[in-house]
């Protein structure tokens, strides 16, 4: 996929979303998802990584029609909970296409997944491997290792995964307990902008696979997790660049015995498909000498813009007044919460004539937005979502 | 209220909540609110501040029975949105007992509030004052000023309020537009631990009132906002200490012409009334040399523990294994989100024999928890709430 083709696609998607908004004029704030972009992004990743199985990270956007669209495309699914399993199955996904990739699972939830036909689990602890053996006997287990995710906008810290020595023992344990020791999983960190971000994890996975093979335990798979980036404002390396780097790492570290390779993209599929339309509630200054205006819109951190915490994700903005002179602003949400400020360190300039009632559109906001919405913080309803 | 009396009260509340949990054994996680504590906290604040009108900050816990209990007690209400107005009215609050204290309001929401009988609004901008004049003619307006909130666990930054010069102009404007220029509002910052936290705001309010009086504009009121703290683990100054400092500031700055004084406590009423019961999902280590266990529970930042962001609020924890030897832990939530770690810098020690299925109770968790819950992040449902 060439860059100009991708840019054309984005304009078309935005045009479809704007047509819907013009025709239906729904209350703001709302998220509109362009299902054609979901399809196009899935196809672009499949085209760039034809030998890798794509497991869509449902958590990035669990809208039912998004899942249904991806079922039609032949996607597999990375799920975090029983509710996400139910959602995929309701939309026609085969149980065999689902990986229960959350290493933190109640015994009852493992049993539930098993009862629904799920047979692939990711673990990172002895307890979880034993729970899987007890409540999902004979299933396949991937063991997640900790990797250091340089280059990621959201480095994953050390909440998930264990060190390679322990991971090797856990695969041995899975084998002993009658499970299928599938291989190693890792996560390069969300919104990973370095094409080399997966290399050290692939290297560790290959070392562990070789060590186990020497003991007579064959593993078959490596799970590359998420991390493929979405375009927000700055451009990112192309999918082809990521694919080349990942395939090169696999060939280098695994050699002749190529494993089955899984990848779990979330935002790389759903982010660019979505646009949030918000309305300006208030434009004000705090003092007569204030150089920046404060622009308050009707969505904030508690109605879906959770990823602006620490201003980690800087979304592109469009307003219904674009074209005239602009000036610097602070962007804030509508609640009485002082932390509900969206951007005050990241420089944004918006039209000088922006006023209450004007629209502020937040582009590429299809991932990690609607499902974060609070149920009713400050009495504001969750983010409404429409699919076109 | 003496300290030992307060401690007894807390034991009684915890006992009532535990009785409910033992009898009903609800699914975890859940929040249980003791309505007797809501009453007791309201009465304690009223007893300490008998000359000050209490406006409960509904946002801190908008559970319908909490609001109903406070209506019975004669509380007033600080609301942030039309939905919070509806909630108060449904539970029998008089429209005249409601202050629409969010300075960020759509014109349509002001009109809606007016249609429901609300006549008191807080503003901090020319636009909002003009919107109130247009859509809620003749109403009362408080203008919020920016104060610097030293001593607060949650300093309020500068999202709300304007400088005193602009605030004075806005009260003049309200007067010109036929509104009642009620006076000044400010917020000393949430969980304010310094009894002197309100002094500078009261001083500014008195100066502005005097300046306007000299012009023939009489203001009547000062709104001290929220900030009264809840007890989490460390003890806080007593309500009597806060009352003495606040009354002394009012007398010193306002002199003979005492204004009507409003205060908007939220967590000081609702936090200690609530306990969250969670279950341990997983206890693990990341490597054989790991000194700290990771304890994953079935609630995290996205199901209600939002105030643990940055580990700002360090809740007291009780487990079903308390009593034996303990060791250091990291506490984390159940989602696949790497930021869903509750405490890793704050030192917590939990029983060495803690295991999956055991309970971890989170004390004094009645404020700013359930309403923050995400609708379905990672497929986990919002926090269930029960009142006893």
Q: Residues of chain B with pLDDT > 70: what percent?
A: 96
The mean pLDDT of A149-168, rounded to a whole number, is: 82
Last residue of a domain, one of A270, A296, A319: A270
- pLDDT at position B150, please? 67
Confidence of residue B234 (pLDDT cuts 50, 70, 90): confident
A71 belongs to a structural domain:
yes
Inform me whether the pLDDT recorded for A272 exceeds 50. Answer: yes
- Chain A residues touching B104 at Cβ < 8 A: 281-282, 296, 332, 334, 336
- pLDDT at position A11, please? 83
- Mean residue pLDDT of chain B comes to 95
Cα(first)–Cα(last) distance of chain B, in Å? Answer: 23
Omega of the bond prior to A127 within 30 degrees of 0, cis? no
Tens digit of pLDDT for each residue in B156-179? Answer: 678 999 999 999 999 999 999 999
User: B146, B201 in Cβ contact below 8 A?
Assistant: no
- pLDDT at position A3, please? 46
Across the interface, which of B83, B286, B296 has its CB nearest the CB of A104?
A: B296
Examine the domain organization and report whether B131 and B147 are in the same domain.
yes
- pLDDT at position A154, please? 61
In Å, how far is B300's CA from the nearest CA of chain A? 12
Examine the domain organization and report whether A148 and A101 are in the same domain.
yes
Partner B, chain A 258-297, Cβ-Cβ below 8 Å: 279, 281-288, 294, 296
In Å, how far is A373's CA from the nearest CA of chain B? 5
- Chain B residues touching A126 at Cβ < 8 A: 284
CA dihedral A137, A139, A140, A145 (to 10 degrees): -50
A380 belongs to a structural domain:
yes
Nearest in space to A52 (alpha carbons), one of A198, A207, A212, A216: A198
Cross-strand partners of A359: A279
Inform me whether the pLDDT recorded for A4 exceeds 70. Answer: no
Q: Residues of chain A with pLDDT > 70: what percent?
A: 96
Tens digit of pLDDT for each residue in A39-69? Answer: 999 999 999 999 999 999 999 999 999 999 9
Q: From CA B49, how far away is CA B239, in angstroms rounded?
A: 8
**Is B336 assigned a catalytic role?**
yes
Confidence of residue A251 (pLDDT cuts 50, 70, 90): very high
B69 in A contact zone (CB under 8 Å): no
Examine the domain organization and report whether B276 and B254 are in the same domain.
no
In this structure, what token pair is assigned to residue A84?
């996400």
- What is the DSSP track for B229-263? PPPSSS----HHHHHHHHHHHHHHHHTTSPPEEEE
Angle, vertex CA B254, rays to CA B248 and CA B260, nearest 5: 90
- Chain A residues touching B345 at Cβ < 8 A: none
B58 belongs to a structural domain:
yes
Nearest in space to B63 (alpha carbons), one of B316, B378, B331, B365: B365
Tens digit of pLDDT for each residue in B25-51? Answer: 999 999 999 999 999 999 999 999 999
- Chain B residues touching A295 at Cβ < 8 A: none
Number of domains in chain A: 2
Radius of gyration of chain B (CA): 22
What CATH number corresponds to the domain at position A266? 3.20.20.10
A155 in B contact zone (CB under 8 Å): yes
B7 belongs to a structural domain:
no
Examine the domain organization and report whether A308 and A252 are in the same domain.
no
- Chain A residues touching B338 at Cβ < 8 A: 154-157, 159-160, 189-190
Q: From CA B226, how far away is CA B243, in angstroms rounded?
A: 13
A28 belongs to a structural domain:
no
Tens digit of pLDDT for each residue in A335-349? Answer: 999 999 999 999 999
Examine the domain organization and report whether B379 and B232 are in the same domain.
no
Tens digit of pLDDT for each residue in A117-129? Answer: 999 999 999 999 9
The reply to whether residue A160 touches residue B338, judged by beta carbons under 8 angstroms, is yes
- Tell me the CA distances in angstroms from A172 to A114, A177, A265, B119, B236, one per residue in order: 22, 9, 28, 70, 52
Across the interface, which of B83, B282, B373 has its CB nearest the CB of A104?
A: B282
Last residue of a domain, one of B270, B289, B316: B270
> Which is the catalytic residue, given B30, B88, B162, B336?
B336
- Tell me the CA distances in angstroms from A164 to A181, A182, A203, B303, one per residue in order: 15, 15, 11, 32
Q: From CA A176, how far away is CA A170, in angstroms rounded?
A: 10
Examine the domain organization and report whether B155 and B64 are in the same domain.
yes
Partner A, chain B 156-215, Cβ-Cβ below 8 Å: 156-163, 165-166, 190
Q: Where are the beta strands (DSSP E) in A305-363?
A: 317-319, 326-332, 341-351, 359-362
Examine the domain organization and report whether B165 and B245 are in the same domain.
yes
Q: Where are the beta strands (DSSP E) in B162-229?
A: 180-185, 190-192, 221-223
- pLDDT at position B1, please? 42
Inform me whether the pLDDT recorded for B304 exceeds 80. Answer: yes
What CATH number corresponds to the domain at position A379? 2.40.37.10
Tens digit of pLDDT for each residue in B244-301? Answer: 999 999 999 999 889 999 999 999 999 999 999 999 999 999 999 999 999 999 999 9
A22 belongs to a structural domain:
no
- pLDDT at position A148, please? 75
- pLDDT at position B2, please? 43
- pLDDT at position B236, please? 93
The reply to whether residue A286 touches residue B158, judged by beta carbons under 8 angstroms, is yes
Inform me whether the pLDDT recorded for B155 exceeds 90. Answer: no
A235 in B contact zone (CB under 8 Å): no
Across the interface, which of B339, B357, B376 has its CB nearest the CB of A371?
A: B376
- What is the DSSP track for B47-82? HHSTTEEEEEEGGG---HHHHHHHHHHT-EEEESSH
Last residue of a domain, one of A270, A287, A317: A270
Q: From CA B87, how far away is CA B93, in angstroms rounded?
A: 9
- Chain B residues touching A127 at Cβ < 8 A: 282-284, 355-356
Site from A336, A338, A353, A359 to mutate, B interface, most B CB atoms within 10 angstroms: A336
Examine the domain organization and report whether B257 and B280 are in the same domain.
no
- pLDDT at position A6, please? 66
Examine the domain organization and report whether A158 and A217 are in the same domain.
yes
Structural domain harbouring B368? 271-387
In this structure, what token pair is assigned to residue A164?
């390679």
Q: Where are the beta strands (DSSP E) in chain A?
A: 30-33, 52-57, 76-79, 98-100, 120-123, 140-144, 152-154, 180-185, 190-192, 221-223, 260-263, 274-284, 293-297, 317-319, 326-332, 341-351, 359-362, 384-387
Angle, vertex CA A197, rays to CA A266 and CA A80, nearest 5: 30
The reply to whether residue A334 touches residue B104, judged by beta carbons under 8 angstroms, is yes
B109 belongs to a structural domain:
yes
Q: From CA B105, how far away is CA A282, in angstroms rounded?
A: 7
The reply to whether residue B302 touches residue A79, judged by beta carbons under 8 angstroms, is no
The reply to whether residue A279 touches residue B106, judged by beta carbons under 8 angstroms, is yes
Confidence of residue B379 (pLDDT cuts 50, 70, 90): very high
Nearest in space to A265 (alpha carbons), one of A36, A53, A12, A13: A53
> A-B interface: how many C-beta pairs under 8 angstroms?
209
Site from B104, B225, B371 to mutate, A interface, most A CB atoms within 10 angstroms: B104
- pLDDT at position B167, please? 98
The reply to whether residue A374 touches residue B371, judged by beta carbons under 8 angstroms, is yes
In Å, how far is A111's CA from the nearest CA of chain B? 14
The mean pLDDT of B379-386, rounded to a whole number, is: 96
Examine the domain organization and report whether A262 and A310 are in the same domain.
no
Q: Residues of chain B with pLDDT > 90: what percent?
A: 90
Inform me whether the pLDDT recorded for A351 exceeds 50. Answer: yes
- Chain A residues touching B87 at Cβ < 8 A: 379
Chain A residue at shortest CA distance from B107: A281
CA B4 to chain CA mean position, Å: 24
Examine the domain organization and report whether A70 and A178 are in the same domain.
yes
Examine the domain organization and report whether B93 and B232 are in the same domain.
yes
Inform me whether the pLDDT recorded for A1 exceeds 70. Answer: no
Q: What amino acid positions of A are annotated as catalytic residues?
A: 336
B8 belongs to a structural domain:
no
């Amino acid at each position: 996929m060439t860059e100009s083709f991708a840019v054309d696609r984005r304009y078309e998607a935005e045009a479809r979303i704007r047509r819907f908004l013009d025709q239906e004029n729904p209350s703001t704030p709302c998220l509109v998802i362009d299902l054609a972009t979901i399809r196009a992004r899935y196809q672009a990743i499949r085209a760039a990584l034809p030998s890798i199985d794509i497991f869509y990270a449902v958590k990035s956007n669990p809208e039912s029609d998004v899942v249904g669209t991806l079922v039609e495309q032949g996607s597999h699914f990375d799920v975090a909970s029983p509710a996400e399993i139910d959602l995929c199955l309701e939309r026609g996904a085969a149980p065999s296409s689902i990986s229960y990739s959350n290493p933190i699972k109640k015994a009852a939830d493992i049993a539930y997944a098993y009862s629904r036909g799920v047979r692939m689990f990711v673990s990172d602890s002895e307890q979880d491997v034993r729970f899987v053996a007890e409540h999902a006997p004979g299933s396949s287990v991937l063991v997640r290792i900790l990797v250091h995710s340089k280059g990621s906008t959201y480095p994953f810290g050390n909440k998930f995964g264990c060190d390679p020595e322990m991971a090797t023992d856990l695969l041995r344990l899975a084998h002993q307990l009658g499970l299928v020791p599938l291989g190693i999983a890792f996560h390069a960190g969300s919104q990973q902008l370095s094409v080399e971000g997966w290399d050290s994890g692939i290297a560790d996975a290959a070392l562990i696979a070789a060590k186990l093979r020497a003991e007579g335990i064959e593993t078959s798979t490596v799970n590359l997790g998420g991390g493929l980036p979405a375009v927000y404002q700055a451009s990112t390396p192309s999918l082809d660049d990521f694919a080349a780097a990942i395939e090169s790492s696999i060939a280098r570290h695994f050699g002749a015995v190529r494993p089955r390779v899984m990848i779990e993209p979330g935002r790389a599929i759903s982010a660019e498909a979505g646009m949030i339309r918000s309305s300006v509630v208030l434009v004000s200054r705090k003092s007569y000498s204030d150089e920046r205006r404060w622009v308050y819109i009707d969505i904030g951190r508690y109605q879906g813009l959770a990823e602006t915490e620490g201003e980690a994700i800087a979304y592109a903005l469009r307003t219904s007044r674009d074209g005239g002179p602009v000036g610097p602003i602070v962007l804030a949400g509508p609640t009485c919460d002082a932390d509900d400020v969206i951007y005050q360190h990241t420089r944004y300039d918006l039209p000088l004539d922006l006023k209450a009632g004007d629209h502020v559109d937040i582009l590429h906001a299809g991932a990690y937005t609607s499902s974060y919405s609070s149920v009713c913080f400050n009495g504001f309803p969750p983010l409404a979502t429409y699919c076109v």
